Amino acid sequence: MNLIADVRRTLPRAAWWAACLCVSVVTLYPLYTMLSQSLKTPAEATENPPTLYPHGLSPENYTALGNTGQVGVWQHVGNSLVVAAGATLLTVVLATLAGYGFAKLRFRGSGVLFFVILATFMIPFQAIITPLFSILHGMGLSNTLLGLALVYTTFQLPFGIFLMRNSFAALPPSIEEAALTDGCGLVGAMARVLLPVAIPGVISTALFTFFASWNEFFAALILVTDEAKFTLPVTLTVLASNQLGTLNWGLTQAGVAVTAIPCIVLYLLLQRYYVTGLVAGAVK
């Protein structure tokens, strides 16, 4: 009797663990392959059939990354950092200001403007890339990291403004009033009292912009044609095509790892903000 009860209780649990572990293997195995392939020696990386794990750990692929293409990968890491950090900073500042304006300092027409900005959601930038290219060209911003950062900012702004407006709107007016009676100006009230409370929204906005800008491929491919200014996702095409003869999959996977690992680390550190921002943005 006891045994049967035990089995009936533990069997679904065991099945659940088995299912979850199986999916975990499917999810994590490609990531494991990325790392193991990148740490193999170039000779081992081209073995057919592939080895399951690196038999001799070698940093060779990572050092070789510095000498491939025109400028080496580390310059591209720098480009990606500049673009992603620039777009993130700009988006956070503009979205915080606009979010506060839309939430707390309503003016005539602010509702319509907010709707116009939200409507940007409906049209993806893939659809307006052709004139965007011409406009950046006309402004002398084609082929520059600044131009790319501005484009990323534009397409992250609606979500950021939406998130920040909601963060500020959720705060009771009494907080602001208290700050005002304490002698803060309107700007002071925002910076010293309301902003600290809205910090989770700021972090979510920053994270989303950073991930999107770091990983974006299509606009980066079109708007930047000078190899020295490529961001990492486009650099991967150089790694894959620049080698003579056969592809070096160890080197390519090292490039993939350099592109992917910062995102994974950032996500694991800040996933709380990422997930709440995502859910808030999607559901509302």
Partner 1 sequence: MTETAIPNVTPSRPGTAVPARPRGPRLTTGRRRQLLGMAMVAPALAVVTVFFLVPLVMTFWMSLHEWPLLGEHQFVGLANYIKALDDSEWLNAIRFTLEYTALITPILFAAGLALAFLVHRESRAARIFQSVFFLPVVIGFAAAAYLWLYLAQPGLGPLSDLAVRSGLGSRDTNWFATATSGLLIVTAMVVWKVAGMQMLLLLSGLQSIPGELTEAARIDGAGRWKVFRHVTLPLLRPTLALVLVFSVAGSLLAFDQFYIMTNGGPSNGTITAVYQIYRTSFINFELGYGAALSAMLMVVLAAVSALQMLLLRNSDHS
Chain residues 68-127 in contact with partner 1, contact rule CB under 8 A: 90, 94-95, 97-98, 100-102, 104-108, 110, 113, 116-117, 120-127
Total binding residues toward partner 1, as defined by CB under 8 A: 96
Instruction: Give the DSSP per-residue string, 246-262.
Output: S--HHHHHHHHHHHHHH
Residue from 63, 70, 130, 243 in contact with partner 1 (CB under 8 A): 130
> At residue 16, what are phi and psi to the nearest 5 degrees?
-65, -45
Give the Cβ contact number of residue 30 at 10 Å.
9
Distance of CA 60 to the CA centre of its chain: 28
**Contact flag: residue 26 with partner 1 (CB under 8 A):** yes
What would the two tokens of residue 164 be?
A: 């920040």
Tell me which residues in 166-185 interact with partner 1 (CB under 8 A). Answer: none
Q: Which is nearer to partner 1, 57 or 93 (CB)?
A: 93
Residue 50: how many CA atoms within 13 Å on its side-chain side?
13
**Contact flag: residue 5 with partner 1 (CB under 8 A):** no
| CA separation for the pair 265, 240 (Å, rounded) | 25
Strands (E) in the chain, as ranges, are none
**Contact flag: residue 153 with partner 1 (CB under 8 A):** yes
Given a contact cutoff of 8 angstroms between Cβ atoms, the answer to whether 195 and 171 are in contact is: no
> Least separation, in Å, of the C-beta of 33 and partner 1?
6
Residue from 34, 145, 163, 206 in contact with partner 1 (CB under 8 A): 34
Radius of gyration for the chain, computed over Cα atoms and rounded to the nearest angstrom: 24
Tell me which residues in 46-65 interact with partner 1 (CB under 8 A). Answer: 46-50
The one-character DSSP state at 50 is P
Q: Which is nearer to partner 1, 106 or 199 (CB)?
A: 106
**Contact flag: residue 252 with partner 1 (CB under 8 A):** yes
Q: Which is nearer to partner 1, 36 or 58 (CB)?
A: 36
Q: Which is nearer to partner 1, 3 or 238 (CB)?
A: 238
